[in-house]
Amino acid sequence: MKNICKLSLTFNASKLLKEFQELLPSWEMHFNTQYYSGNWSGIPLRAPVATNHALSAGDGNITEFEDTDYLKNSEYFNQVIQTFKSSKQSVRLLRLTPGSEIKEHRDFGLGFFDGAVRLHIPILTNSKVDFFVEKKNISMATGECWFANFNVPHSVANRGETDRVHLVIDLQVNDWVQNLFVKEGIIKPGEKESQKHTMEEQLQIIASLKEMGNETALKLAREMEQKMK
């Protein structure tokens, strides 16, 4: 399985930017404060039901998500999201301001074989944004659609003079997603993963969850530790 891939899907960069500018959003600071320096904020377009953090992507125990008023009033964002014929989980606009940095970390449960995948569609960016996945710097242009396996170490730094804003979509893996990933060469037909994470990777994920310190992360850490016994 490939951990990084630019999909053949592309979207209208001008329409994305125009609708984003018309949205006139109220930015919410990202709750994972241990993971970044500077200003990392977002706007929830689709959020988990009954959560303390609208920007939360949820966890394995959250299966119900709902559109926010932002998405209901966003015609082109809706068109883009409906391109993906799968159940949508969290959908967010995420902004990293100039001079801000998201520290290297892993996101639990975001590999194809975990049953959920995350896609990035840049709306605003600049040539001095460094987006590292497994130490490889990915250059993403506006309107492109990128998959990355965010179970692996990744980090982002905006060293430019303009905001970086991405539309970030989490999808449940179904037949449509599987067929897309086979077509794009991300996975091979019939490919299976015998073990989602090595023991070392599981311990690293548990440590990262504990470092986050919020209730959801600590609960996931406890569940992982219990399964390892």
Q: What is the pLDDT of residues 211-225, one digit of tens each?
A: 656 565 677 677 767
Q: Which residue has the higher pLDDT, 113 or 93?
A: 93
Structure tokens at 172: 């449940």
In eight-state DSSP terms, residue 113 is G
CATH superfamily entry for domain 4-191: B-lactam Antibiotic, Isopenicillin N Synthase; Chain (2.60.120.330)
CA angle 164, 170, 176 (to 5 degrees): 125
In percent, how much of the chain has pLDDT > 70? 80
Share of the chain above pLDDT 90, in %: 52
pLDDT tier, 194 (very low <50, low <70, confident <90, very high otherwise) = very low
Q: Is the pTM of this model over 0.85?
A: no
The domain spans of the chain are 4-191, 197-229
- Rounded Cα distance, 154 and 164, in Å: 16
